[in-house]
Amino acid sequence: MISASLVQFDVQCLAPAENFGRIHDFVALEAAHGAQLILFPELSNTGYVEPLVPGGPMVSDVPHFGAALYEACAAPDGEEIKALVTLAARHRVHLVIGLGLRDQLRAGVMRNASLLIGPEGVLGQYTKVHQWQNEKLYFTKGDRIDTFAALGTHLGMQICYDIRFPEITRILALRGAGIVTSVWASFGAEATPVADGALFIHRAYTRAVENGVFFLSCNRSGSHGGQRFFGRSCALAPDGTVLGALDHDMEDVLRVEIDLEAVTRYRSFTGIWADRDPTLYEKYLSPDRSDSRRSPPEKS
């Protein structure tokens, strides 16, 4: 069994020192509760971008938000990441954490990333491929989908909007993932009631049962610029069983147990991998397939 904690906390905009301080406190607390894997939301160090929605107002009192965001982002080889590695080693835990990261070489270039950190160091990094609305103003998109060996399986990472593209989770599963993590900073207008409180469960359920993976969905809480983050973190087993879910948007921690043997049990029972027909799918998915493969037009 793997004990996992999904930390649904309120990230402060452009306040990395405060946010990292709270992250360290949460790790110590969850490790004391026996956690082996601890998740933190998207952009846990920087807070979300402004304007939060297209055409919305700038909220932070800074001369240039892009420059301020870059300053709040972590350097890949900087002290903040080194401190997280030390923290993971001290508590013998693995962390999956959404972070704004600076480019290793190019000043001003930023990435919306998810890092896998273990006692041995940084084990993997994923850069968000599908960028939501105004994120495109600031972040350079990712171009890799990888999994990383950890906790007796392979772990794959995605971020927020990526979940709407099933190819991401399928590729991670094809590359051996038994656990897929999804970190979020998903929000809606503060004055508008949540239309579907189980939305995150629906999405996680679909990706879990399609691929036979554990799907861990960790969103943030708090309000900013007239928008309220939805919270409602959840964890789903390969057969769609809800291991745990928070039904609110307040700060909280979701603690669940993961039995990796459930991956084998579900996949061998359903046959979802044996029954796939990628050769057939390729006829329709290949972007350069010739017109000769298409059905001829009907005669009038």
Residue 281's identity, in one-letter code, is Y
- For the chain, the domain total comes to 1
- 259 within some domain: yes
- 298 within some domain: no
- Concatenate the DSSP letters of all residues of 6-46 into one string: EEE-BPPTT-HHHHHHHHHHHHHHHHHTT-SEEEE-TTTTT
Predicted model pTM? 0.94
179-233, pLDDT tens digit by residue?
999 999 999 999 898 889 999 999 999 999 999 999 999 999 999 999 999 999 9
- 278 within some domain: yes
- 300 within some domain: no
Q: Please provide residue 131's backbone torsions phi and psi, each rounded to the nearest 5 degrees.
A: -95, 130
Using CA atoms, how far residue 164 sits from 96, 159, 202, 220, 255, in Å, is 20, 10, 12, 18, 25
12-62, pLDDT tens digit by residue?
999 999 999 999 999 999 999 999 999 999 999 999 999 999 999 999 999
233-255, pLDDT tens digit by residue?
999 999 999 999 999 999 999 99
d(CA 81, CA 115) in angstroms, rounded, equals: 10
- 240 within some domain: yes
d(CA 247, CA 118) in angstroms, rounded, equals: 29
Q: At CA 228, angle to CA 222 and CA 234, rounded to 5?
A: 75
User: What DSSP element (H or E) covers 235?
Assistant: strand 234-236
- Structural domain containing residue 256: 2-293
